Amino acid sequence: METYEQLLDEAYGKIKKAETSGERFEIPKVEGHFEGKKTIITNFSQIASIFRRSPEHLQKFLLKELAAAGQKEGDRLVLNIKVPSSKINQKIEEYAKEFVICRECGKPDTEIFREDRITFIKCQACGAKHSVRSKI
Ligand SMILES: [Zn+2]
């Protein structure tokens, strides 16, 4: 016979499990190639739209973090240096963790906005609000 506490623990364990299983947000990976000394990210616009962030914001972050110059050409982002995709993916992940994924519930359904010169992300799933770096 189980004690009341054990039953509670068990029920709680089940809830926890349900929350974390299944629909985990997958951070998109870059697709691209080198062209001479340049790096072309071909799915750049798609990544920005999965994150629901402006391509400009993501571009600014990546260029700064990778210490590269570059510009958008259609849906692609062209970097003036060769950067291995593993390094770009790492930065994409950092971007997602800081500017997209809710720190409370882990969902990516957030929006970014500025208020009194501070930038926040607000989660549409749980309502949490966090300040993030304004300058990138
Ligand atoms: Zn949330």
Rounded Cα distance, 8 and 112, in Å: 38
CATH of the domain at 48: 3.30.70.3150
Determine the distance separating the centroid of ligand 1 and the alpha carbon of 32, expressed in angstroms: 31
Do residue 92 and residue 111 come from a single domain? no
H/E segment holding residue 34:
strand 32-35
Cα–Cα distances (Å) from 65 to 29, 59, 107, 117, in that order, read 17, 10, 24, 22
Q: Which of 3-7, 59-63, 127-131 has the lowest mean pLDDT?
A: 3-7
DSSP 6: H
Ligand 1: centre distance to CA 30 (Å): 25
How many domains does one find in the chain? 2
Residue 84: domain span: 29-100
Cβ neighbours for 72, distance < 8 A, ≥ 6 positions apart: 44, 45, 55, 59, 78
Give alpha helix (H) positions in the chain. Answer: 4-20, 44-51, 55-65, 85-95
82 and 48 inside one domain: yes
Whether residues 92 and 112 fall in one domain: no
- One domain for residues 39 and 82: yes
Report CA(3)–ligand 1 centroid distance (Å). 34
Which pLDDT does position 42 carry in this prediction? 98
Q: How far is the CA of 9 from the centre of ligand 1 (A)?
A: 24
**Ligand 1 centroid to 43 CA: how many Å?**
27
**Tokens, residue 28:** 């998109």
> Is the pLDDT reported for residue 2 higher than 70?
no
CA atoms 69, 110, 131, 94: torsion sign: negative
Q: Per-residue pLDDT tens for 56-104?
A: 999 999 999 999 999 999 999 999 999 999 999 999 999 999 999 999 9
Which is more confidently placed, 20 or 39? 39
pLDDT for 24 equals 77
Q: Which long-range contacts (CB under 8 A, 24 or more apart) does 112-118 make?
A: 112/53, 112/57
Mean per-residue pLDDT, 96-119: 95
Over range 37-43, report the average pLDDT: 98
CB 32 within 8 A of CB 42: yes
- How far is ligand 1, taken at its centre, from the CA of residue 121, in Å? 10
